[in-house]
Amino acid sequence: MMCFKFFSCRHIVLKVFLVQFLASLQTFAAPSPIIKFPGDDASYTDKEVALHYLNKFYGCPKDRCNLMVLKDTLKKMQKFFALPETGEIDQKTVEIMKKPRCGVPDVANYNFFHRKPKWGQKNVTYRILGHTPDLDEETIDDAFYRAFKVWSDVTPLKFTRIMDGEADIMVNFGRNEHGDGYPFDGKDGLLAHAFAPGPGIGGDSHFDDDELWTLGEGQVVKVKYGNAEGEFCKFPFLFMGKEYTSCTSQGRDDGFLWCSTTYNFDEDGKYGFCPHEREFGGNSEGAPCVFPFKFLGNTYDSCTTSGRSDGKMWCGHAKYILFLFLVAAHEFGHALGLEHSDDPGALMAPMYTFTKTLRLSDDDVKGIQDLYGVPTDKPLPTELPTVTPMDVCNENIIFDAVAQIRGEIHFFKDRFLFRTADVRRKPTGPMLVATFWSELPEKIDAAYENLLEGKTVFFAGDEMWVYSGSTLERDYPKKISSMGLPSDLHGIDAAYSFHKSKKTYIFAGSKFWRYNEAKKKMDPGFPKLIADSWSAIPDDVDTAFSLNSDGHSYFFKDSHYLKMDDNTLKIVKVGEIKKDWLRC
């Protein structure tokens, strides 16, 4: 069953409800939970929040949204978000209501609309009328170009930018009342809005210039004082023979955080202090950092280099950093005629999943192609992959890769991952792989953490990707033959870094190779047959990994796993994956 909907209102408003819990009141009875909406003077109980939400997004009339009507409407909302359909205002339901989202209703009122608005021509023009000072004009132009390309890649539509005159889609930034009768409300309220396809204002897309718009990279923070005033931290850097990927207080007895501004502090001695509370440089000079802040689905309690390829530290001064490319792609979907999807992995879902590289879901593609058709200049796969999150306990899942990364065990399957820091607990998930490593393809073959450098390596087909944190290393992806693997090898089965030697073992079919991470080349004498070295390890193993803390390596095959002692290289246990790793 298709779960996409078509545009059902003339005006789309992107609304974010950023909520704050107020301090508990000192009364004899426990007070109702109270939250506050930005810009509102009134406080609301959870029930009042639910009434407001259901009225705005599900058409439940304020004067009649009670008793059975409220219960039935709640069930519709809970079904839309795959929640238990209790009809009650429970904690999980209220949490969904409080999340950032687009403001278009999830349930259309079809009484008001008699057609599916769309553009009648294949060549749709757009014009950028203005820019935000948060980013340079070239970067903004590129973000909008890529946002349109998301849709042109899967349809016969062609988007052409014009520099003057009237375009089909006029794109602009504005504040408060900006000429269309739908004023913005300042920071953290309404983010953007768009109009349905049509003449005049139809298709036009506006973005609130009171927001902080970025490409997900935030503000750069320079070091202060030290002997490198005004320079940028270099990550990773070397101090007393150890690499650091963030600011540190090591070597100081005053607790101040510092970093090196060159790779080798031991040789160069260049350093500066990392600001704790205020930003320097970037597009928010002097504004206080806000901790924790969110970026690409992760929460950060300190400055980070994540998302930057230049190794510069940054922080957010807002709890939600607005990714212009993602919001624009969502908005342009509305401007083309799409409404919301109840697929949580879809771009057109009302709740955002912030990813640096966007991939349309099956539902997004079906929706837009129902309006405009398939591309005429390139073939599409006959079957599109599903994005429905899997249930690891009730499905027969064979993982593509398993790896311990930064102390957490990651289980990869298609575009999703599960993870846990404690093998005694059930992994959390599913989460989108692109949330953490945005450039990876939909499916990987293997992954491991380079124990010498702390970098993560991924394999898919005959290519490999190397990441420092969530930042793709320069010049990647590369061919796996760059490691010394055969040029006619079109993929591998598994790879893992052996804890004792820090060397990496790579498995493909009945053979394995040993890669020397320090020398960046394969050890001589390889490949070897798996059966000759590890008689208990099967050929065509599904995945392999080691746990740095327990001195064992693990090999997954179908529904079972083998546990090998790293000292004796003997198998000490055969167990069930679901029972021991997924805690089913």
> Annotated active-site positions, please?
331
Does 330 belong to an annotated binding site? yes
- Contact present, 353 and 436 (Cβ < 8 Å): no
Does 552 belong to an annotated binding site? no
Measure the CA–CA gap between 26 and 397, rounded to whole angstroms. 51
- Contact present, 123 and 158 (Cβ < 8 Å): yes
Does 575 belong to an annotated binding site? no
Q: What is the DSSP string of 268-316?
A: H--EEEPPSSB--STTSTTPBP-SSEEETTEEESS-B-TT-SS---EE-
Does 266 belong to an annotated binding site? no
For residue 263, how far is the Cα from the chain centroid? 29
Does 447 belong to an annotated binding site? yes
- Contact present, 512 and 528 (Cβ < 8 Å): yes
- Contact present, 96 and 330 (Cβ < 8 Å): no
Buried b (16+ CB within 10 A) or exposed e, 269-292: ebbbbbbeeebebbbbeebebeee
Does 542 belong to an annotated binding site? yes
- Contact present, 318 and 208 (Cβ < 8 Å): no
DSSP state letter for 337: T
Sheet holding 11-15, edge to edge: 11-15, 190-195, 205-208, 169-174, 123-128, 158-161
Does 410 belong to an annotated binding site? no
Measure the CA–CA gap between 84 and 79, rounded to whole angstroms. 7
Residue 142, phi then psi, degrees to nearest 5: -65, -40
Quickly list H helices, 318-451: 324-336, 362-372
**Which residues are 403's β-sheet partners?**
410
Measure the CA–CA gap between 274 and 283, rounded to whole angstroms. 18
Does 202 belong to an annotated binding site? yes
For residue 174, how far is the Cα from the chain centroid? 27
Q: Extract the tokens encoding 392.
A: 């690891």
Does 209 belong to an annotated binding site? yes
Closest alpha carbon to 493 in 379, 401, 363, 361: 401
Binding residues for Zn(2+), by number, are 102, 178, 180, 193, 206, 330, 334, 340, 348
Binding residues for Ca(2+), by number, are 134, 168, 185-186, 190, 202, 204, 208-209, 211, 400, 445, 447, 495, 542
Binding residues, by number, are 102, 134, 168, 178, 180, 185-186, 190, 193, 202, 204, 206, 208-209, 211, 330, 334, 340, 348, 400, 445, 447, 495, 542
